[in-house]
């Protein structure tokens, strides 16, 4: 499974039907949380995201609408009896916030919190497993802010079951095929990889781009990403405010997706001045037709 569930799509102020920024990403048996705005733990309960299975939290920056929900979530996990360590990747300035929380409320925390400060100037791998890796990269916001990209690794080849019998493949030959090698037998017979094996899937990727103004490297760093979530706080008529506040407009987000060669663009982090999210979607689609304006509770397969 590789699926994202939107837990909050509002910007600085929550709306009646929108919480502040948070997303739950399920990928290869792991559950990641991307940002943790106010109301995140309630949204997890409402949309049936199993918080006790939460593996890692990625915080883009410490503006309140992206982090005010972390205290409640950490406390609830403690009250539920969590014992498994929780990983948190966040900017360096999240450290004092976590220290404050633990100094006043840490007695009820019965699990280890493993905080990794982010301080890179270009994309770096911050987490890696057998099947995925996660990159963090700097954004262009008013304070230090990071985006995240989760990528499936290239899978090994699967050997066709009918080919095992047809060619009388040995275990050694099966191993060669799984590594992507042709089989060459002592008598000169060649069993080609194309005839006997296949890739089970094409690797997918998901990028989470929170608060940022456009910057030259952005599309390059996101090149080839399958699905991009990008903040689109402002409609184009408010582009001047977007520039002043280091945010992105609809057309700017769509241009990034186009230049990156993405298959799909998800947008959110809407300004509270406009409740019609379809207006955001319509503007983006003038540049990038595969744009979808997200709402709280929606899920998308990557």
Instruction: Tell me the percentage of the chain whose pLDDT exceeds 70.
Output: 100
The whole-angstrom separation of Cα 270 and Cα 288 is 18
pLDDT tops 90 at residue 272: no
pLDDT tops 90 at residue 149: yes
Sign of the CA dihedral running 191, 195, 197, 203: positive
Q: Which residue has the tokens 């404050």?
A: 100
pLDDT tops 80 at residue 16: no
The whole-angstrom separation of Cα 175 and Cα 156 is 10
- Which pLDDT value is given to residue 153? 96
Q: What is the pLDDT of residues 53-63, one digit of tens each?
A: 999 999 999 99
The whole-angstrom separation of Cα 210 and Cα 91 is 13
Please say whether the structural domain 2-155+201-301 has been given the CATH code 1.10.287.1770: no
- Say if residues 87 and 64 touch (Cβ distance below 8 Å): no
* Mean of pLDDT over the chain: 96
pLDDT tops 80 at residue 299: yes
Which neighbouring-strand residues pair with 5?
Answer: 24, 299
Q: Where are the alpha helices (DSSP H) in 213-265?
A: 218-221, 239-244, 250-260
- Which pLDDT value is given to residue 14? 79
Q: What is the pLDDT of residues 210-257, one digit of tens each?
A: 999 999 999 999 999 999 999 999 999 999 999 999 999 999 999 999
Task: Report the chain's terminal Cα–Cα distance, integer Å.
Answer: 9
Q: How many CB atoms lie within 10 A of CB 225?
A: 26
The domains of the chain are located at 2-155+201-301, 158-198
Non-local (6+) Cβ contacts of 127 within 8 A are: 56, 87, 89, 133, 134
The whole-angstrom separation of Cα 197 and Cα 188 is 20
Which whole number is the average pLDDT over 165-173? 92
Sign of the CA dihedral running 237, 239, 242, 248: positive
Which whole number is the average pLDDT over 184-192? 92
- Which pLDDT value is given to residue 241? 93
pLDDT band for 283, please (50, 70, 90 cuts).
very high
Entry pTM = 0.92
The whole-angstrom separation of Cα 232 and Cα 268 is 6
DSSP E strands in the chain: the ranges are: 2-8, 22-27, 30-36, 54-58, 86-91, 113-118, 124-128, 132-138, 146-152, 158-159, 183-184, 190-191, 197-198, 205-209, 227-231, 264-268, 291-293, 299-301
Q: What is the pLDDT of residues 93-143, one digit of tens each?
A: 999 999 999 999 999 899 999 999 999 999 999 999 999 999 999 999 999
Phi, psi of 31 (to 5 degrees): -120, 120
pLDDT band for 17, please (50, 70, 90 cuts).
confident
Q: What is the pLDDT of residues 36-89, one digit of tens each?
A: 999 999 999 999 999 999 999 999 999 999 999 999 999 999 999 999 999 999
Catalytic residue flag (residue 65): yes
- Say if residues 182 and 167 touch (Cβ distance below 8 Å): no
- Which pLDDT value is given to residue 29? 95
pLDDT band for 15, please (50, 70, 90 cuts).
confident
Q: Which of the residues 17, 35, 55, 65 is marked catalytic?
A: 65
DSSP-assigned letters across all residues of 267-294: EE-B-TT---HHHHHHHHHTT-SSEEE-
- Which pLDDT value is given to residue 273? 81
């Amino acid at each position: 499974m590789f699926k994202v569930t939107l837990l909050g799509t509002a910007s600085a102020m929550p709306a009646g039907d929108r919480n502040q920024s948070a997303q739950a990403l399920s990928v290869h048996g792991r559950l990641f949380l991307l940002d943790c705005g106010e109301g995140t733990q309630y949204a997890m309960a409402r949309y049936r995201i199993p918080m006790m299975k939460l593996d890692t939290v990625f915080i883009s920056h410490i503006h309140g609408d992206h982090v005010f929900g972390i205290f409640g979530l950490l406390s609830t996990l403690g009250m539920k009896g969590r014992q498994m360590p929780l990983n948190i990747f966040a900017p360096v300035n999240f450290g004092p916030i976590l220290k404050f929380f633990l100094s006043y409320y840490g007695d009820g925390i019965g699990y280890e919190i493993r905080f990794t400060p982010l301080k890179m100037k270009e994309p770096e791998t911050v987490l890696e497993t057998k099947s995925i890796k996660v990159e963090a990269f700097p954004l262009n916001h008013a304070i230090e802010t990071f985006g995240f990209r989760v990528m499936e690794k290239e899978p090994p080849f699967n050997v066709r079951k009918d080919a095992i019998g047809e060619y009388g493949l040995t275990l050694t030959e099966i191993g060669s095929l799984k590594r992507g090698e042709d089989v060459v037998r002592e008598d000169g017979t060649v069993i080609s990889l194309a005839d006997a094996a296949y890739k089970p899937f094409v690797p997918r990727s998901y990028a989470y781009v929170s608060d940022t103004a456009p910057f030259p490297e952005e599309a390059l760093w996101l090149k080839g990403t399958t699905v991009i979530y990008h903040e689109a706080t402002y409609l184009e008529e408010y582009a001047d405010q977007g520039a002043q506040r280091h945010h992105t407009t609809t057309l700017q987000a769509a241009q990034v997706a186009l230049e990156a060669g993405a298959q799909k663009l998800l947008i959110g982090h809407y300004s509270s001045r406009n409740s019609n999210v379809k207006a955001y979607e319509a503007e983006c689609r003038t540049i990038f037709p595969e744009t979808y304006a997200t709402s709280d509770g929606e899920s998308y397969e990557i």
